[in-house]
Amino acid sequence: MNIWQNLPKGFTILAPMEGVTDVVFRQVIERAGRPDLFYTEFTNVTSYASDKGRHDALERLTVCKKDAPIIAQIWGKIPEHFALIARELEGLGFQGLDINMGCPDRHVNKAGGGAAMIRTPELAVACINEAKRNTNLPVSVKTRLGFTYVDEYKNWLPIVLRQQVANLTIHLRTRKEMSKVSAHFELIPEILKLRDEIAPETRLTINGDIINSRQIQELHQIYPGVDGFMIGRGVFVNPYCFTGRVPISQGGDISVRELMELFKYHLKCFDARKSELEAIGSRYPFEPLKRMFKIYINSFDGASDLRVKLMNCKNTDELRSVIDEFLMQE
């Protein structure tokens, strides 16, 4: 079954984000209001293929029942390693695999993966085709307009489209632009024309500067040919971004108490995952959790003081105590 063909027009996706979209965070967004499709965080195919890195790769590929449908996001530069992981992902509970050819991280690019694939199109084609030959799952690609120049899309995107991938997600910036300039929405008509001429069965998803469902509705009216929309950083502004609901601080109906209850659910999921990993000799460190505080603690009276107290906590029990004390004063 090709999951992409079963998604409704205008479908939504939570973007893969390193250190963010693991099995814990996906459960939080599922509770708040899930998109049509989840992606995992990035998994390196060469790590998966090695005895040393396989354990970490499998942790990144952990899914739960509530995740489905979910796509495994993978990256690398060795076609044989794409073949290996492609053969095994269906058995791990995935409905598709997506090859990242757009990540701008310099370490990933130095290793030849992510956006660096734009500069090695023959290798990119080989990786796509090895994945396709070795799985029954639909293979998709996430990329950018180009590495350095916007006009690179005119040569690069047709190369990917000719591989007849199930879905092509395009972050509407170059690697050089990162997120420093506005997404190039003006190029969508030209990109749609390329898709329709070269690979009309390939679904097209856009990414970049998309932050909530209202904006998605507006974009879908302007560009009805676009199949899907991916939200990344928007979840840090509003974890309910896929529902149309917004916090009171943004003029909506989501109370501070509701946000705090979602935060506490996040802590519950964190503790459960930590216990699972510690039982098999792995770690799930506490400090990275602090990066998530801004999702829940912002733009309301007392938010700054609350965040300071939370940042001084050393475990989830202390976090809950601070949250409960704050709610008692509400």
Three-class DSSP category at 100: strand
Is 241 among the residues known to form the active site? no
Instruction: Determine which one of 103, 127, 241, 269 is catalytic.
Output: 103
Give the model's pLDDT for residue 302.
85
If residue 235 lies in a helix (H) or strand (E), which one and from where to where?
A: helix 234-237
CB 93 within 8 A of CB 62: no
Three-class DSSP category at 97: strand
User: Whose structure tokens read 């079963």?
Assistant: 6
Nearest of 43, 45, 46 to residue 18 by alpha carbon: 43
pTM greater than 0.85 (yes/no): yes
User: Whose structure tokens read 């992409």?
Assistant: 4
Give the model's pLDDT for residue 115.
95
The CATH superfamily assigned to 3-244 is Aldolase class I (3.20.20.70)
Give the model's pLDDT for residue 301.
85
Three-class DSSP category at 229: strand
Three-class DSSP category at 117: helix
Domain extent listing, the chain: 3-244, 250-328
Give the model's pLDDT for residue 275.
95
Non-local (6+) Cβ contacts of 176 within 8 A are 147, 148, 149
Quote the tokens at residue 29.
Answer: 């967004």
Chunked into runs of 10 residues, the chain (330 residues) has average pLDDT values of 92 94 96 97 94 91 93 96 95 96 93 95 97 97 97 97 98 93 96 98 97 95 97 93 90 92 97 94 93 90 91 96 89
Beta strands in 65-151 (DSSP E): 70-75, 96-101, 139-146
- In this structure, the number of other CB atoms found within 10 A of the CB of residue 27 comes to 21
